[in-house]
Structure 1
Amino acid sequence: MKLDQLRSFEAVARLGHFTRAAQELFLAQPSLSRQIAALEAEAGTELFRRAPAGVTLTAAGEVLLPIARRMLADASAAREQLDELAGLRQGSVRLGAPPTLCVSLVADVLAAYRSAHPGIELHITEGGSRSLVAAMDEGALDLALVVTRGEQRTPPATQLVPLLSEELVVISSAAAGEGERRELTLAQLANMPQVAFSRSYDLRVATDAAFAAAGLTPTIAVEGAEMDAVLRFVERGIGVAVVPAMVVIDRPGLRSTLLVRPQLSRTVNLARRTDVGLSAAARAMERIVFETVDRVAAPGTELARRVDVASRA
């Protein structure tokens, strides 16, 4: 199986359409079709079900897809290893993170990385922690920042390195005055109008579970919002929201109040594969992630009282 055939196969599988895959790969559609036909001939079976509206994977295609992605990732890793000879003047890093980290820690990480290595292309994927771990296992990501609470299963070749433990806080509009309280119990929070995240968010799952365990029903003002919208709605005084402590840093329009009885927290981890070596560019990203965590949560900073940095000794 040739890499260009696997690359074409992966694009068609992901996009569900030959024309869109050809456009993405800058190929003429007949050339793409020939590559897929050659791959199917080598596999001895059809990989796609063709229909006027697009294509779907056959059972054989479902089996081949994760293998193809790993093979493409390994080839990319080999190219990245060769990029080391260029002294980090070229190459790329693919980093995944949940939206709650993209608006806080990840922004600082990328700024530091871009300053140190301006020639490296940075590719960011936002998503839930489980989907990011799955994407990394398939070779679609080099590293991922993921959130855990308690024990969490990961693929055998995935390692989670704890970075920090972070409190969840209740945010409110700085103009509304709700943030003048020092603490809020979960029962008090349940009676306040809330701006609730989309149910695809790890954070929404955690808060819903806390309310259910306490036998409480939250008061929802707005439901289904994404991170940027939640922050904007809260700033406008539409309701309050539960977010990680890091989200509030450098946001003067928001106030935060500690959530107690129960106090909720989460662990932020760096996820990496153990069966594939990191490129020089990815190793530099890993190092900058560690340095950024140590810097933003250093003693004396605004965040230090609500974040515990994990020991990496």
Structure 2
Amino acid sequence: MTLQQLAYFVAVADVRSFTRAAESLGVAQPTLSRQLRALEDELGAPLVDRGSRDGPVLTPAGEAVLPLARRMLADSESARTAVAEIVGLRGGRVRVGATPSLCIGVLADVLRVFHEKYPDVRLELVESGSQPLVRSLVRGELDVALVIVPPPGIDPALHTMPVLRERLSVASPTSDRAPSSRGSMTVLELSRRSLVVPRQGYDLREATLKAYADAGVTPRFAVEGGEMDAVLRLVEAGTGVAVVPDLVFAGRPRLRRTVLTPPLYRTVALARRADLTPTHAVRAFRDTLLSFLAVLSAGDGFPGDVQVLRRPDSSAPRGAEPVE
């Protein structure tokens, strides 16, 4: 069994076509087919059903091998990256994931600071909901991700380091009258107003709908769906109100913040694969993130109710992994 054979198998599984898989890898289709046969002979079972009218379909054995193959390929790439950093062949790479609200609220500035400090490190950003990001981390497609940690926790294959605790508040347009003269409102009061919510898959959407369900009320939707930027623009335009994390109010003078009572909070964590030692580039990203948050919290940089949960470990040697 070789990594090349595993890469051929994963390519076929992803595109469901021998021809397109061979083209994506830059090899001849007979070569790909021959190597995949050799892999199946080595494992003692077919991985792909070649007789399907809809193209190659994974067999039960193929379904079982696919996640393992993805992890083996990701681990091999991590090993190459780590060694390349040590011997000075290149500056390294950090594949970062984050939810859309965190990209708006804090990550854009962190990536700017990181790039200024480490211009030779290649940055790759994936913006998605926490659940897809967790799956990408487990498969080895990301190095680190800022995700929302639900009360039961997330995948045990991941190490999570809580970094922020932020309040969820009601956003309304400053062009309209305030939804409450008290500066606060209950979910019952909120339910009387038209609501804008992001698309399915957003942690924020689930938290909002759960708050309604817990209060025993039904939301009145103005608009459902869209990304975080679209939700905020719809609120600014007066389409409705939305429940959003406090971080997104920074730099948005057209949004008014009204707190919910009782308060709703969420915890943001930096997550990575627990079975992989972070590379130097990943450690540098973590340190940059923590230092940026510490500086921001020491001044007046955070809007609303945001609490930093992890400080930089100044006692740790440069490049060392702090106790977590």
TM-score w.r.t. length of structure 1: 0.91
Percent of residue pairs bearing the same amino acid type: 45
> Are 2:132 and 1:131 equivalent residues in the alignment?
yes
* Deviation (angstroms), 1:180: 7.7
Q: Return closer, same or farther for 1:295/1:10 CA change in 2, 3 Å cut-off.
A: farther
Gapped runs of 5+ residues in structure 1?
none
Aligned to 1:20: 20
Q: Return closer, same or farther for 1:31/1:176 CA change in 2, 3 Å cut-off.
A: farther
Q: How does 1:5-44 map to 2 (within 5 A)?
A: 5-44=5-44
CA distance in 2, matches of 1:203, 1:88: 42
* Deviation (angstroms), 1:175: 2.3
State the secondary structure of the residue aligned to 1:263. strand
* Deviation digits for residues 214-242 of structure 1 (CA, Å, limit 9, x no counterpart): 10111100112222221221121111111
* Deviation (angstroms), 1:209: 0.9
Q: Number of matched residues?
A: 310
* Deviation (angstroms), 1:86: 5.3
* Deviation (angstroms), 1:268: 0.3
* Deviation digits for residues 92-124 of structure 1 (CA, Å, limit 9, x no counterpart): 111122222122222122112222222222222
CA distance in 2, matches of 1:37, 1:269: 43
The answer (yes or no) to whether the contact 1:88–1:280 under 8 Å persists in 2 is: no
Q: Return closer, same or farther for 1:28/1:293 CA change in 2, 3 Å cut-off.
A: farther
Q: Return closer, same or farther for 1:198/1:65 CA change in 2, 3 Å cut-off.
A: same
Q: Return closer, same or farther for 1:203/1:2 CA change in 2, 3 Å cut-off.
A: same
Aligned to 2:305: 306
CA distance in 2, matches of 1:76, 1:177: 55
Q: Return closer, same or farther for 1:114/1:192 CA change in 2, 3 Å cut-off.
A: same
The answer (yes or no) to whether the contact 1:88–1:119 under 8 Å persists in 2 is: no
CA distance in 1, matches of 2:246, 2:8: 43
* Deviation (angstroms), 1:166: 0.2
Letter of the 2:243 counterpart:
V
The answer (yes or no) to whether the contact 2:131–2:201 under 8 Å persists in 1 is: no
CA distance in 1, matches of 2:269, 2:28: 42
TM-score w.r.t. length of structure 2: 0.88
State the secondary structure of the residue aligned to 1:284. helix
Aligned to 1:74: 75
Aligned to 2:319: none
* Deviation digits for residues 251-294 of structure 1 (CA, Å, limit 9, x no counterpart): 2332222122x211100001122321111111111111212222
The answer (yes or no) to whether the contact 2:137–2:144 under 8 Å persists in 1 is: yes
CA distance in 2, matches of 1:255, 1:84: 46
Deviates more, 1:140-149 or 1:129-138: 129-138
Aligned to 2:197: 196
CA distance in 2, matches of 1:210, 1:295: 33
> Are 2:26 and 1:58 equivalent residues in the alignment?
no
Letter of the 1:222 counterpart:
V
* Deviation (angstroms), 1:138: 2.2
CA distance in 1, matches of 2:27, 2:177: 58
CA distance in 2, matches of 1:19, 1:231: 44
Q: Return closer, same or farther for 1:29/1:210 CA change in 2, 3 Å cut-off.
A: same
Letter of the 2:306 counterpart:
V
CA distance in 2, matches of 1:180, 1:121: 47
CA distance in 1, matches of 2:253, 2:145: 29
State the secondary structure of the residue aligned to 1:264. strand
CA distance in 2, matches of 1:251, 1:283: 32
Aligned to 1:147: 148
State the secondary structure of the residue aligned to 1:54. coil
The answer (yes or no) to whether the contact 2:82–2:92 under 8 Å persists in 1 is: no
> Are 2:241 and 1:237 equivalent residues in the alignment?
no
Q: Return closer, same or farther for 1:311/1:95 CA change in 2, 3 Å cut-off.
A: closer
State the secondary structure of the residue aligned to 2:298. coil
CA distance in 2, matches of 1:98, 1:88: 32
CA RMSD of aligned residues (A): 2.1
CA distance in 2, matches of 1:282, 1:240: 38
